[in-house]
Amino acid sequence: MTKQPVVGTIIIGILVILQGLWALALALDLALVRDINPTTVLIATLLGLAVLLIIIALWPRPSTRESTRETIQFSPVSLDQAEAGMTAKKQDIVADLRWLDSAEAVTVPIITQARATILADPARLAIRTSSPDVDIDTSLAMTWAGRSGSQNIYLGPGLTDPAQAHLTVDVAAAALTVRPH
């Protein structure tokens, strides 16, 4: 991975090229530059460069906090991986749990300080979350079943108790989105 050059490096490179061309023009004794004092040109160039660098340093930069936030894809390939879940600090998590179809109950913990997106089949699904911002796709036909401590419980269609769910997702995130696909 190569880094992009810094603006200051580019400006210094341009300055060196201009000074080199100026010295070449003086050496070739071109009529255009013969009557101009080289010290005046050097001082004017350096002052212009200093002003330009100050302007670049003070120019407001866009916030890269949101644009650099990574999204972690979580698609467990075994029940053990699903039960281990996913924990991230400030990254968004997209957990694809649509394939999980177990005869035994499975609980998947998803923990992040950012947004968590769950892709799941609503049949026999329960979601426990303390997230203040919850967006559940209406096509899932999930219903709010109440609170358990500080967590809200959402149940898939046909479920009346969280114990009936084959897939329970425990989500601790700033925001939660649940989608079928």
Residue 127 lies in a domain: yes
Q: What is the mean pLDDT of residues 59-81?
A: 72
Claim to verify: residue 46 and residue 98 sit in the same structural domain: no
Q: Is the pLDDT of residue 62 over 70?
A: no
Claim to verify: residue 126 and residue 49 sit in the same structural domain: no
Claim to verify: residue 171 and residue 99 sit in the same structural domain: yes
Q: Is the pLDDT of residue 1 over 50?
A: no
Residue 157 lies in a domain: yes
Claim to verify: residue 109 and residue 43 sit in the same structural domain: no
Residue 39 lies in a domain: yes
Q: Report d(CA 72, CA 51) in Å as an integer.
A: 43
Residue 146 lies in a domain: yes
Residue 127 is predicted with a pLDDT of 92
Q: Report d(CA 181, CA 64) in Å as an integer.
A: 29
Residue 121 lies in a domain: yes
Number of domains in the chain: 2
Give the least confident one: 3-17, 95-109, 131-145, 160-174.
3-17
Provide the pairing of β-strand 92-96 with 115-119.
parallel
Residue 83 lies in a domain: no
Residue 138 is predicted with a pLDDT of 86
Give the least confident one: 5-14, 83-92, 129-138.
5-14
Q: Is 103 in contact with 141 (CB distance < 8 Å)?
A: no
Residue 114 lies in a domain: yes
Claim to verify: residue 161 and residue 107 sit in the same structural domain: yes
Claim to verify: residue 96 and residue 52 sit in the same structural domain: no
**Which tens digits make up the pLDDT trace of 93-137?**
998 888 777 677 888 999 988 899 999 888 888 999 988 888 888
**Domain span at residue 147?**
90-176
Residue 69 is predicted with a pLDDT of 60
Claim to verify: residue 104 and residue 167 sit in the same structural domain: yes
Residue 67 lies in a domain: no
How far from 132 is each of 53, 63, 146, 152, CA to CA, in Å? 45, 25, 14, 10
Claim to verify: residue 95 and residue 53 sit in the same structural domain: no
**Which tens digits make up the pLDDT trace of 13-46?**
887 888 788 788 878 887 777 777 878 877 887 8
Claim to verify: residue 108 and residue 154 sit in the same structural domain: yes
Q: Is the pLDDT of residue 67 over 50?
A: no
Q: Is 86 in contact with 107 (CB distance < 8 Å)?
A: no
Claim to verify: residue 42 and residue 110 sit in the same structural domain: no
